[in-house]
Chains A and B, each alone.
Chain A
Amino acid sequence: MFSGFMVNAWEIGTIVAVVGGVVGFFVVLRGAAFPAHAIPNGAFAGAAGANLLGVNPLIGLGVFSLGAALGIGRLTRRGRADAVTALALVMMLALGAAFLSQSTEYEPEIFSLLFGEILGVSRGQIVPVAVLGAVCVLFVGVLYRRLLLTSLAPEIAAAQGLRPELVDTAFLVVIACATTMTVPVVGALLIFTLMIGPPAAARCFTDRAEIAFALSVAFALVTVWVALACSYVSDWPVGFYVSVFSAAWFAAGRGYLAWRRHTSAPSRPWGSSPDV
């Protein structure tokens, strides 16, 4: 389990978990689950297009996810955010369907783009993923205070001259960056579930932002590690285990919250409503 191709899987899984936990913390805080689903899913069309043109899929993914992030950011200023996100997503998926219809690519490739092939990662893939992952985490580090302020205290953020729509778009670009690096190796599904379940659970366990942030990364790491082990033993897809364990974290978090409310005096977690 700890030799050969599995070493690559452990390494890349760890990188992806850290990025998922870090970015996911803000995805949950900002209620940005839909863009977090739409950008990775739609970006898969970019990979299909790159395949058709014979260029590196990473370029196609990057172009499409960045285009989606900027497009959603731009269109949202004049329309309903969720409707715009839905339309951007279906437009990209439709382009993907058009690309696929023109290429001779066959099904396993589609499957692996959507659901990932973490067990088939080669040494050469680790370096670009690690670099993009570091860029992502760095980006979040730079934006950390602004992201927190605009999510938790919009009034203070406005008073300090922060422009929420710019922070929004910057955050979408972070998601796009995380998407570009992770989709080819772990698939659109896995990164999405990692960005939702563990961070949402983390918020239930503590009132403090820093601790929730750390918990979010820790939960994501445990999720990926256990999922890899289960997948190795059972041969079932990693994505299945990651999504189930992510949901289990969420259920545990909600259960803990309900139990706390039941036993002790009601206390409101920081930020928005705890009813995630």
Chain B
Amino acid sequence: MATFLFEPGFFSSGPVHVALVIGAVSAVVTGVVGVFTVLRGQSFAGHALTDVATTGGSASFFYGLTPLLGFLGAGVLGAGAMDLVGVQRLRGRDIATGVVLGVATGVAALYLYLDTTKSATTGAAQQVLFGSIFTLDSSTIPVVAVLSVVTLALIASIYRPLLLSSLSADLAAARGISVRAVGLLFMLALAISVGLSSIAIGSILSTALLIGPAATSLRLTRSLRRAFAFAAVIGVAATWLGVLFAYDSYYWFPSSQGLPVSFFIVLLVFLAYVASGLHPIPRALKRARLDGHAAAAQRVR
């Protein structure tokens, strides 16, 4: 049974250990940030920031800088730009995000083009666009850990105002909270966590782990605390199972051409979301859920 589930060498493989650790840390952090992202309706911004971070990655590739700097720097710059153009306004926010995203991808196109003309080595685009969790170096772990703590600390320090302004901006403003400042700080946390996870696990996975577990957990529970826990658990479970399947998949095909780990993780996250919607939600419960959010807002006051 055990040998059937775990192909030989799974537990003794170094890259697998690193993938399991970094994957779990990223899943927890993005899961927590993701609950707020989904609650605030900023999924597009969250996804756009991964692409913006990718631009930084391709730029740092060109200038020979360490990619982490590019990913994080571009992410933070992008978040600032989105805030400046007006993402904090609910209406037209998507358009502002789209404009920033458009410029970022345009610049990415330029740098990827310059990358290919500068050096004969191909692979820059592929590496930047679909980073693989298996190619990580174990020296990345401390950096990922430190930045994860920073992100969580940032979220914790603005938890109450953030929660209130996410649930009801008017209420928060009436309570004297600067909704704008809280929104900007949240965008900063979002940018760091997204930049971090897109370098650690690739930009596809970053969005998947940010939105998927959070959206699933918000459909499963009314309590926000439980939503954080569910999101983290779903994220970690999907990541670990995905790593396991990807590792095993090298033995599935005669060509020993495995399937990418991002494919399995995203598939699991997606299935979890679809499954969470399968049971019909009675109208009464739906209303109760809305009341629950309102009650949460009350408690925060």
Contacts and interface: CB of A to CB of B under 8 A. Distances in A.
Given A90-B204, A110-B125, A200-B99, 20 more contacts: A33-B44, A34-B94, A75-B274, A82-B41, A83-B214, A86-B210, A87-B208, A87-B212, A97-B130, A97-B262, A111-B112, A111-B125, A114-B109, A189-B106, A192-B98, A193-B103, A196-B95, A196-B98, A200-B95, A243-B105
Contacts of A106: 122
B47 A87 contact: no
B259 A98 contact: yes
Interface string B95-120: 11111011101110110110010000
A91 interface: yes
A54 interface: no
Interface residues of A, number: 57
Contacts of A192: 98, 101-102, 105
Interface stretch (B11-19, B179-187, B265-273): B265-273
Contacts of A250: 99
Interface in A97-140: 97-98, 100-102, 106-108, 110-111, 114-115
A193 B103 CA distance: 8
Contacts of B122: 106-108
B263 interface: yes
A193 B109 CA distance: 13
Q: 5 smallest A-B Cβ distances: which pairs?
A: A243-B106, A94-B266, A33-B98, A193-B102, A276-B92
B266 A83 contact: no
Contact of A276 (B96, B130, B266, B270): B96
A247 interface: yes
B110 A86 contact: no
B109 A237 contact: yes
Interface of B: 38, 41-44, 46-48, 85-86, 89, 91-99, 101-103, 105-107, 109-110, 112-113, 116, 122-123, 125-126, 129-130, 204-205, 207-208, 210-212, 214-215, 219, 257-260, 262-263, 265-267, 269-270, 273-274, 277
B273 to A, nearest CB: 6
B259 to A, nearest CB: 5
A89 B48 CA distance: 12
A244 B109 CA distance: 11
Among B89, B123, B262, B265, find the residue whose CB has the most chain A CB atoms closer than 10 A.
B262
A107 B277 contact: no
A36 interface: yes
Interface of A, secondary structure class, is: helix
Contacts of A102: 257, 259
Contacts of A107: 122-123, 125-126
Interface string A256-276: 000000000000000011011
A95 B91 CA distance: 32
Given A83-B38, A247-B102, A275 B91 contact: yes
Contacts of A37: 44, 48, 98, 101
B23 to A, nearest CB: 15
B202 to A, nearest CB: 8
A80 B38 contact: yes
